[in-house]
C-alpha cells in the first residue's frame, strides 16, 4: 500500500507541466464570445493601431523624451486568493517579499538588463538583423491610496490575501487601474494565461499557477519549481497582456498574401515559425521557415525559463505601443515618492501654459529633471544639468492641460513638486 501511495505521489509530481503551457488562446476564445467584450476589444485594438503607427514613424529628440521613448511606471498589485487574510505577520511578510521577486524579474526582462542576456552575444550570429528590444518600463508594487475596503494601510505594498476576484473570475473592478497578478492553483497542466491585449481599466489580470510565479524558495504552498522557477512565465504572459502573440502564431510558412505586419505574431523581426519549441535547445539548432532559425530564446516561445532571455526590438515597439494605448488606464497616485529633507527648488509660474522655470537652491550640482503625468508617464527628461545661475527653463510642447509632477534628482536624493498646466 505504501509503495502504491509513493508511486501515486511521484506521478502527481511528474504531472506538473513538463512543458510550458499557456492558456491565452483558450481564454481569448472564451472572452471573444461575449459581444460586449468583443466590441470593447476591437475598439481598443483600433486605438492601438494608431499608437503603433505613431511609434513606428516617430521622430527622436535628444532633449524632450516624449513617450513612447520615456520610462513608463506601471503600478502592480499581486493577489494570493488561497492565502488566508488571517495569516500571521510572518506568513504575510514572506508573501510580500516573494511577490517582489517576480517584479525584479520583469523589470530586468522588459528593460534588457537580465544577466542571461549575455548569451545573445554568441547566439545572435544565427539571427542576422535581429536586435534585442528594451521597453523602458518600470513595474512597482503600489503602496499608497489603496482601493477602499481592502484594509491595506498606506505604506504597505498592494499584496492581497483571500481576494477571490469575483468568485474566481479573471477581473475585479475593485482593482481597476492596476497591473494585476493573480497567483492561484490552476491545476497541473497550465502555467498561466492572460488576455491578448488586456485592460487595466476593467481590472483584468495575468493569472499564474502557484509553481511558476517568482523566484527563490517561495512561501508555503507557493514554491517555484524547475524548469519554471526563474519568473519567466510572468514575463511571457505579461507579453500577451501587452498585445504580443506567440512567435509561432503563423498558420503556415507561406500563407497566401503573407504580410509579417498583419499575419502570425505581427512582428517582422521574429523569424516565421509554425510550431512552438520546448525544453532548452541550443541557439540556432531549431529550423524555422525558409532558411531561418527559430528564435527559441524569445520570451514568447515555449522553452524553459533558463533558456528564454530576450524580446526583439520589433516586439518591444509593438508592446510599448500597446502600453501607450492603455497607460491612461493605470491608477495615478498609488506610489510613494522620495523627498529631500529641505526645499531644493522652486517653480514659477505655476500654474503655467507648459513653459516654466526651475530655480535651484544650490549651484555646481549635477541635476536631472523629469516631468511626469498622472498616469506615471515621463513626458520630459533632461540629465546632467549644470546650474551656475540656479535657473533652468522647461518647455513642454503640446502636452495636455492637467496636473503634472516635476521631479528633480541628484545622485543621492530626489524631490517632487506638483504643477498645473492650463
Question: Mind listing the domains of the chain with CATH numbers?
Answer: 23-329 (3.40.390.10), 345-421 (2.60.40.3080)
Q: From CA 133, how far away is CA 313, in angstroms rounded?
A: 4
Question: Grid coordinates representing 256?
Answer: 497566401
Is the distance from CB of 154 to CB of 85 less than 8 angstroms?
no
Q: From CA 16, how far away is CA 9, in angstroms rounded?
A: 11
In this predicted structure, what is the pLDDT of residue 224? 97
In this predicted structure, what is the pLDDT of residue 4? 43
In this predicted structure, what is the pLDDT of residue 240? 98
Please report, in tens digits, the pLDDT of each residue of the chain (422 residues total). 444 434 333 434 445 667 888 989 999 999 999 999 999 999 999 999 999 998 888 744 333 333 334 578 899 999 999 999 999 999 999 999 999 999 999 999 999 999 999 999 999 999 999 999 999 899 999 998 999 989 899 989 999 999 877 777 788 999 999 999 999 999 988 999 999 999 999 999 999 999 999 999 999 999 999 999 999 999 999 999 999 999 999 878 876 557 888 889 999 999 999 899 999 999 999 999 988 999 999 999 999 999 999 999 999 999 999 999 999 899 988 876 543 334 567 888 988 999 999 887 766 567 888 898 866 678 888 887 766 568 889 999 888 888 788 888 765 556 777 788 88
**Nearest C-alpha neighbor of 81 from the set 207, 25, 165, 19:** 165
In this predicted structure, what is the pLDDT of residue 270? 96
Decide: residue 410, CB within 10 A, 0-12 exposed, 13-18 middle, 19+ buried.
Answer: middle
Q: From CA 93, how far away is CA 111, in angstroms rounded?
A: 27
Question: Grid coordinates representing 203?
Answer: 481590472
Question: Grid coordinates representing 112?
Answer: 534588457
Question: Grid coordinates representing 89?
Answer: 505577520
Whether 237 is catalytic: yes
Which helix (DSSP H) or strand (DSSP E) does residue 322 occupy?
A: helix 313-326
DSSP per residue, 177-228: TSEEEEE----SS--EE--SS--GGGTBEEEE-TTSSSSTT-BTTB---TTS
**What's the chain's average pLDDT?**
86
**DSSP assignment letter at 87:** -
Q: Of the listed 42, 51, 186, 237, which one is catalytic?
A: 237
**Nearest C-alpha neighbor of 208 from the set 249, 174, 165:** 165
In this predicted structure, what is the pLDDT of residue 176? 95
Amino acid at each position: 500500500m505504501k509503495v502504491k501511495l509513493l508511486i501515486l505521489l511521484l506521478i502527481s509530481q511528474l504531472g506538473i507541466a513538463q512543458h510550458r503551457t499557456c492558456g491565452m488562446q483558450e481564454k481569448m476564445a472564451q472572452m471573444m464570445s461575449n459581444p460586449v467584450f468583443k466590441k470593447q476589444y476591437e475598439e481598443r485594438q483600433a486605438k492601438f493601431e494608431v499608437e503603433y503607427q505613431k511609434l513606428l514613424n516617430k521622430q527622436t529628440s535628444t532633449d524632450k523624451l516624449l513617450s513612447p521613448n520615456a520610462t513608463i511606471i506601471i503600478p502592480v498589485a499581486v493577489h494570493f486568493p488561497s492565502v488566508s487574510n488571517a495569516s500571521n505577520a510572518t506568513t504575510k511578510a514572506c508573501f510580500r517579499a516573494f511577490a517582489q521577486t517576480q517584479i525584479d524579474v520583469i523589470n530586468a526582462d522588459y528593460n534588457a538588463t537580465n544577466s542571461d542576456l549575455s548569451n545573445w552575444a554568441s547566439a545572435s550570429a544565427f539571427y542576422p538583423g535581429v536586435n534585442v528590444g528594451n521597453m523602458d518600463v518600470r513595474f512597482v508594487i503600489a503602496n499608497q491610496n489603496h482601493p477602499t475596503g481592502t484594509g491595506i494601510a498606506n505604506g504597505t505594498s498592494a499584496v492581497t490575501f483571500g481576494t477571490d476576484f469575483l468568485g474566481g473570475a479573471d477581473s475585479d473592478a475593485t482593482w481597476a487601474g492596476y497591473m494585476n497578478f493573480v497567483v492561484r492553483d490552476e491545476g497541473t497542466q497550465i502555467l498561466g494565461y492572460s488576455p491578448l491585449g488586456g485592460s487595466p481599466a476593467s481590472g483584468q489580470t495575468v493569472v499564474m499557477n502557484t509553481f511558476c510565479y517568482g523566484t527563490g524558495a517561495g512561501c508555503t504552498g507557493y514554491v517555484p519549481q524547475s524548469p519554471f522557477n526563474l519568473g519567466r512565465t510572468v514575463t511571457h504572459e505579461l507579453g500577451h497582456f501587452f498585445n504580443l502573440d506567440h512567435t509561432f502564431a503563423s498558420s503556415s510558412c507561406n500563407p497566401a498574401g503573407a504580410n509579417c505586419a498583419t499575419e502570425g505574431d505581427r512582428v517582422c523581426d521574429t523569424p516565421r515559425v509554425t510550431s512552438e519549441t520546448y525544453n532548452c535547445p541550443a541557439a540556432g539548432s531549431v529550423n524555422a521557415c525558409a532558411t531561418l532559425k527559430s528564435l527559441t530564446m524569445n520570451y514568447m516561445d515555449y522553452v524553459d525559463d533558463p533558456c528564454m532571455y530576450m524580446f526583439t526590438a520589433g516586439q518591444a515597439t509593438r508592446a510599448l505601443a500597446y502600453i501607450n494605448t492603455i497607460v491612461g488606464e493605470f491608477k495615478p497616485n498609488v506610489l510613494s515618492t522620495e523627498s529631500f529633507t529641505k526645499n531644493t527648488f522652486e517653480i514659477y509660474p505655476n500654474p503655467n501654459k507648459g513653459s516654466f522655470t526651475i530655480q535651484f537652491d544650490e549651484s555646481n550640482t549635477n541635476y536631472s529633471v523629469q516631468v511626469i503625468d498622472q498616469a506615471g508617464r515621463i513626458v520630459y527628461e533632461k540629465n546632467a544639468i549644470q546650474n551656475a545661475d540656479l535657473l533652468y527653463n522647461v518647455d513642454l510642447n503640446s502636452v495636455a492641460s492637467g496636473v503634472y509632477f516635476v521631479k528633480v534628482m541628484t545622485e543621492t536624493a530626489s524631490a517632487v513638486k506638483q504643477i498645473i498646466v492650463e
